[in-house]
A and B are shown apart, each in its own frame.
Chain A
Amino acid sequence: MTPFELLEPRTLREAAALLASGDATVRPFAGGTAVMLMMKMGVLRPTRLVSLRAVEKQYSGIGAGADGALRIGAMATLSALERSPVIRNEAPVIARTLRTLSNVRVRNVATVGGHLAHADPHMDLPPVLIALGASVTTVDAAGGRTIPLEKLYSGYLETSLGRGELIAEVSVPRQAPRRAAYLKCTTRSADDWPALGVAVVLDTLRETEGAAVREARIVISAATDTPTRLAKAEAVLRGARVDDAVLQRAGDAAASEASVIGDAHGSAAYKRELLRVYLARAVRAALAGEG
């Protein structure tokens, strides 16, 4: 790792301004869990890191509006999110997802904004938040904008964020009365990056299994280049009463529409089989309120 300059601006706007130059060797730094790994491997060699740790406290807050919609500051740590009673009440699927997200040492320092902006498809929260319909608000020299999280990702480690544009806040519609689950599959050690993540959010007419699904959002991660919504699988579930046959059709649709990539966690063919199985299990877990 080569020496670099570390700046610690006091405001998010100031941080954005420091990053606006377009110099690719000047990078933001929040929890540092991904940045440090890339620097150690030598794939990132920054001349200057702009730390976001000293920006306004408001960007670390976690709260819910009157409608139950969550507002999560980008600098909130994953541990803070995991422990937040607000999150547990309004979006229990997020709290459950965090329990097996990486490990406690990472969660203690990694931030929500960094987790989302890194755009590594193996991350756990992007599919969950996309399935819940989350959006991010950004800050840049021009002021900022709001982007549906679904539109944030443009490729492997690539986002539509501009230079000098930082995520300031994440808004997540309340989970209830929808049912949600996130299941992931690790194929080596338990704390490995997943081979596949499947997030399912279902709007159902009734509470029991076999209930008709009014609306379904299905997002997969890890097996694809970017978190990917599976429209065909969603269409199979929409209006259907969930049974083995429906889940089989949804699994077939998912396996055919997703651009699944093989890697060290498993071949593409195997991951497509995992997708069929985990999609069905995630839907059942959501309906059973287990996710």
Chain B
Amino acid sequence: MRAEEKRGAVGRSIPRLEGRAKVTGRAEYVHNLRLPGMLYGKIARSTIAHGRIKRIDVAAAQAVEGVHRVVTGADIRALIPDPHYGPAFHDQPILALDKVRYAGEPVAVVLASDPHVAEEAAGLVDVQYEALPAVYDEVEAMTSKAIVHEVLKPAGTFPDLKHFQGRKNTNVALDFRLRRGDAEAALKKADRVFEHTFRTQQVLHVPLEPFVSAAEPGDGTLTIHTASQSPSFVRTEIARLLEWPESKVRVKVPYLGGGFGAKLYIKLEALVAALALLVRRPVKISLTMEEQFYTLTKHAATLRIKSGVAKDGRVTARLCEVWWNGGAYADIGPRITQKSGFTAPGPYDIEHVHIDSYALYTNLPPAGALRGFGIPQLVWAYEGHTDMIARELKMDPVEFRRKNILRDGRPQATGTVMQDAAIDKVLERVAARMDWGKPFDRGSGTVRRGRGVVIGFKAVIAPTTSVAIVNLYADGSCALYCSTVDMGQGSDTAMAQIVAEILGIPIESITVVHPDTEVTPYDMATLGSRSTYHMGNAVRRAAEDARDKLLALAREVGVSVETTPIAEVFRRKYGMQAGNIIGSGSFIPTYMPMDHDTGQTANATPFWMVGATGAEVEVDTETGRVRVTRLVNVADVGTPINPAIVESQLSGAAIMQLGFTMSEKMEFSAGQCTNASLAQYKIPGLLDVPEGMENEAVDAEQKGGPFGAKGVGETGTFGVSPAIANAIDDAVGVRLTSLPLTAEAVYRALRAKQGNPLKD
């Protein structure tokens, strides 16, 4: 029997369950939602980066015909005495209170039945500020006199943030440290020492569906319809703010038009909840594409990395310092600082490692998770550094990596012993696909060609919980209740495949019930490539539970499920088509917290993601323009549940990171974003996608993963930026250490190399 004809569903490239609904415009999104009596909210935003609010005059806005009400922070505080939210720190006010901390921060909301009226009036809200000194640079923020938050207020969720409680006069929101061996001493003994500093820029997720939330008050209840990646967190946090039981807050999430880490935790949900309760009517806020620039971004970072290398090319010591520019509110930045920070030395076997990783507050739009959770920033530094060392040592960069990579059974910087991380295999496959050992056409004239190979890795965030319910109906069809959000990554299809595989039923007979906290069970969130592994395991267990109950039922009525249709088993039991079988499953992996002073733990993560990128480029030496002609993405994703979806996840992630590498950058003037629109902030289009785009999942298995699978959503992002920078260096001998790799940056570097720098 050919593989496609097997009954089994796992391992097959089954087309997306929702594909037809999406391309025919029938899929449900919050933007399409209209509730009876609904008011639209439009946000008036801060025009300065840091300042005290002296006065808010809403009279002109209130006077616009059709305006229902203008709401400020003071109104919110009357309803919720401490209206601050956030996953790591309770630092973000629902509307600005007393002061503003970034240009674009919500200060007031105008409510009206007509969104155009609300928008018109929002422009008339008059706010007077007393400007305060501001800080924008993450390294300056370490010592700046400008302090973003007077007092730090950890959320209490994370033990490693407790010591920040009540801390004053600091912009540091986490100071993660890892100490393994004695890096300082080892550096002194090393034959060669290399030190480089790298920078990354602030960029944006740009989901094509901007943020949108609606809240509907009931009789002592509240229903929130929201484009969120974390419905369970939204319910918990709203219930906490309102001091209500969780059972009185209902959060519903249909499809998302992209999330990428932006739509996590609280975004508009607390605001619409408070507004709806204030006016006792449903309230909806739909951001414009432009407003997304003032909501959540990806951390800019400065990364200093220093290595000691022995004569034979072994890296013996590494010292990493990372400063993460978290913007005005911490969001999940402190977790990035730690959970990604501990991989800062890269997938290398290094005896002596010191890491200092700092989460900083600045007066810029907040930064949080973005497809890779800090990993692309780290890989940008350590893989640039790796190539620069190899070049200095006159070693082949792939050979240099071979000599130093971390292999299964060896301890990572945390002390956790590596398992099921196909680092060597991924490196070998990308080198093979790039024909690394063979001669390479280096171009001629004004077009020079080069290539680069890099490798990166990530530990999935831990420990997190997923719960799933499988409801087997009396006709043999079935519903899967799970709070994983399908935001385009194909989770509905993958989860249904797991159920189909275990119950042996056609995938078409399975309905995936979308997140609704009153219906679907808890899930930590759809983030960090965790769903396939965590929810996949919960779904597998729920389906196995249902199967076991079905087998028991069959035994009870004296039939075999091998020969009897499921519907017949139910009929035998209930005398007609009636009844349900409910299977449930939950999953939390094992984990051991890190030692606070050394970052050491025997169990840092349930699984590692490994991604390598190979890039070939053409550089126009007269203009500095770079054309990426080939991009090869190789990953260890365990055993794919759905190979076609895995491939599109790898290529989609790589194209997204290609934009962050070549063109995307939020520009600021005095803290004000000056290119807050898609006309001025350029994401890649089809013509920017390299002609040669190759994706491969290596043959691998993740033990403990459902059917050997693990996460894939972020892996394609890891290596794109340094692979291209390394290829540019290979082509024309210039090294860029800041992103993006614009033509002008390359051109200026070429001129500087010729001893004839471009004068402004």
Q: How far is the CA of A79 from the CA of B123 in the complex (A)?
A: 37
Cross-interface CB contact of A189 among B288, B667, B685, B759, cutoff 8 Å: B685
Cross-interface CB contact of A191 among B625, B687, B743, B744, cutoff 8 Å: B687
Interface string of B249-261 (1 = CB under 8 A from A): 0000000000000
Q: How far is the CA of A188 from the CA of B119 in the complex (A)?
A: 32
Q: Does the CB pair A191–B747 fall under 8 Å?
A: no
Tell yes or no: B623 within 8 A of A by CB: yes
With both chains docked as a complex, state the minimum distance between the C-beta of A197 and any C-beta of chain B, in angstroms.
14
Q: Does the CB pair A3–B116 fall under 8 Å?
A: yes
Chain A residues near B622 (CB-CB < 8 A): 277
Contact A2 to B623, CB < 8 A, known contacts A189-B663, A269-B760, A270-B748: no
Q: How far is the CA of A103 from the CA of B687 in the complex (A)?
A: 11
Tell yes or no: B556 within 8 A of A by CB: no
Residue of A nearest to B683 (CB): A189
Q: How far is the CA of A277 from the CA of B742 in the complex (A)?
A: 17
With both chains docked as a complex, state the minimum distance between the C-beta of A192 and any C-beta of chain B, in angstroms.
5
Cross-interface CB contact of A2 among B119, B674, B744, cutoff 8 Å: B119
Cross-interface CB contact of B687 among A37, A187, A190, cutoff 8 Å: A190
Chain B residues near A273 (CB-CB < 8 A): 623, 747, 758
Q: Does the CB pair B116–A270 fall under 8 Å?
A: no
Residue of B nearest to A262 (CB): B760
Q: Does the CB pair A187–B759 fall under 8 Å?
A: no
Q: For chain B residues 713-760, which have a beta carbon within 8 Å of chain A?
A: 742-744, 747-748, 758-760
Cross-interface CB contact of B623 among A41, A185, A190, A267, cutoff 8 Å: A185
Tell yes or no: A162 within 8 A of B by CB: no
Tell yes or no: A264 within 8 A of B by CB: yes
Tell yes or no: B28 within 8 A of A by CB: no
Cross-interface CB contact of A190 among B119, B680, B685, B748, cutoff 8 Å: B685
Chain A residues near B116 (CB-CB < 8 A): 1-3
Interface string of B283-322 (1 = CB under 8 A from A): 0000010100000000000000000000000000000000
Tell yes or no: B629 within 8 A of A by CB: no
Contact A267 to B120, CB < 8 A, known contacts A189-B663, A189-B684: no
Interface string of B485-496 (1 = CB under 8 A from A): 000000000000
Chain B residues near A152 (CB-CB < 8 A): none
Tell yes or no: B675 within 8 A of A by CB: yes
Q: Does the CB pair A41–B677 fall under 8 Å?
A: yes
Tell yes or no: B518 within 8 A of A by CB: no
Chain A residues near B77 (CB-CB < 8 A): none
Q: Does the CB pair B680–A264 fall under 8 Å?
A: yes
Cross-interface CB contact of B758 among A37, A185, A190, A270, cutoff 8 Å: A270
With both chains docked as a complex, state the minimum distance between the C-beta of A198 and any C-beta of chain B, in angstroms.
13
Tell yes or no: A266 within 8 A of B by CB: yes
Q: How far is the CA of A37 from the CA of B678 in the complex (A)?
A: 11
Chain B residues near A85 (CB-CB < 8 A): none
Tell yes or no: B1 within 8 A of A by CB: no
Interface string of A20-49 (1 = CB under 8 A from B): 000000000000000001001110000000
Tell yes or no: B3 within 8 A of A by CB: no
Q: How many residues of A contact B (CB 8 A)?
A: 25
Tell yes or no: B679 within 8 A of A by CB: yes
Tell yes or no: B682 within 8 A of A by CB: yes
Among A103, A189, A267, the one with the most B-chain Cβ atoms within 10 Å of its Cβ is: A189
Q: How many residues of B contact A (CB 8 A)?
A: 32
Tell yes or no: A268 within 8 A of B by CB: yes
Q: How far is the CA of A3 from the CA of B116 in the complex (A)?
A: 7
Residue of B nearest to A37 (CB): B679
Residue of A nearest to B744 (CB): A270
Interface string of A187-208 (1 = CB under 8 A from B): 1111111000000000000000
Q: Does the CB pair B687–A266 fall under 8 Å?
A: no
Q: Does the CB pair A192–B760 fall under 8 Å?
A: no
Q: Does the CB pair B667–A264 fall under 8 Å?
A: yes
Tell yes or no: B688 within 8 A of A by CB: yes
Q: Does the CB pair A187–B758 fall under 8 Å?
A: no
Interface string of B663-700 (1 = CB under 8 A from A): 10001000000110101101111011000000000000
Chain B residues near A219 (CB-CB < 8 A): none
Chain B residues near A270 (CB-CB < 8 A): 744, 747-748, 758
Chain B residues near A269 (CB-CB < 8 A): 758-760
Cross-interface CB contact of A42 among B123, B623, B663, cutoff 8 Å: B123
Chain A residues near B123 (CB-CB < 8 A): 42
Residue of A nearest to B120 (CB): A2
Chain A residues near B625 (CB-CB < 8 A): 185, 187
Contact A193 to B679, CB < 8 A, known contacts A1-B116, A42-B123, A187-B742: yes
Q: Does the CB pair A1–B685 fall under 8 Å?
A: no
Q: Does the CB pair B675–A264 fall under 8 Å?
A: yes
Q: How far is the CA of A189 from the CA of B665 in the complex (A)?
A: 12
* 17 further contact pairs, Cβ within 8 A, besides A42-B123, A187-B743, A269-B759: A1-B119, A2-B119, A3-B116, A40-B290, A41-B290, A187-B625, A187-B742, A188-B662, A189-B682, A189-B683, A190-B687, A192-B682, A266-B744, A270-B744, A273-B623, A273-B758, A274-B623
Residues of B with Cβ closer than 8 Å to A?
A: 116, 119-120, 123, 288, 290, 622-623, 625, 659, 662-663, 667, 674-675, 677, 679-680, 682-685, 687-688, 742-744, 747-748, 758-760
26 of the cross-chain contacts (CB-CB < 8 Å) are A1-B116, A2-B116, A2-B120, A3-B116, A40-B290, A41-B290, A41-B677, A103-B685, A189-B659, A189-B663, A189-B684, A189-B687, A189-B688, A190-B688, A191-B685, A191-B687, A193-B679, A264-B674, A264-B680, A266-B743, A267-B744, A269-B760, A270-B758, A273-B747, A273-B758, A277-B622
